[in-house]
């Protein structure tokens, strides 16, 4: 996807602070962190949102979760815990239309919506 900012990061066309990468997933620091650890876990395949997940591409969700565990361990927050958040669509506030999960941690988090 030519105009997708996360595809450009995956292709190395724009910089990012990458904390984990394998052949299917990349994880990099969010440019506007809301917590001491705020990393975006992104499948390398361009999928717009979790609404586009199906039987052909759904294995990327396992890849994302395994990558999240590796990132949490690497960044020292695995034992204390973290949140993995996905925003899907306009009402949820999704701004980048390439599926991603926010991994947030490094502090005790406040009230939960759910």
Q: CB 99 → ligand AMP: shortest distance, Å? A: 9
State the residue for tokens 């599926």: 99
- Does residue 12 belong to the site contacting ligand AMP (CB under 6 A)? no
- Does residue 48 belong to the site contacting ligand AMP (CB under 6 A)? no
Task: Return the range that interacts with ligand AMP (CB under 6 A); candidates 27-35, 53-61, 70-78, 105-113.
Answer: 27-35
- Please state the φ and ψ torsions of residue 109, each to the nearest 5 degrees: -90, 155
Closest CA to 66 of 9, 28, 20: 20
Number of residues that bind ligand AMP (CB under 6 A): 12
| Measured distance CA(4)–CA(42) in Å, rounded | 12
Interacting residues toward Zn ion by CB under 5 A: 1, 4, 6-7, 46, 98
């Amino acid at each position: 996807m030519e105009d997708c900012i996360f595809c450009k990061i995956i292709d190395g066309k724009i910089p990012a602070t990458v904390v984990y990468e394998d052949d299917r997933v990349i994880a990099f620091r969010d440019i506007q962190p809301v917590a001491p650890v705020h990393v975006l876990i992104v499948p390398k395949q361009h999928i717009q949102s979790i609404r586009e997940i199906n039987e052909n591409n759904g294995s990327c969700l396992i890849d994302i979760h395994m990558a999240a565990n590796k990132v949490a361990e690497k960044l020292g927050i695995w034992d204390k815990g973290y949140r993995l958040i996905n925003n899907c669509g306009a009402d949820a506030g999704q701004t980048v239309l390439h599926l991603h999960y926010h991994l947030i941690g490094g502090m005790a988090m406040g009230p939960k919506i759910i």
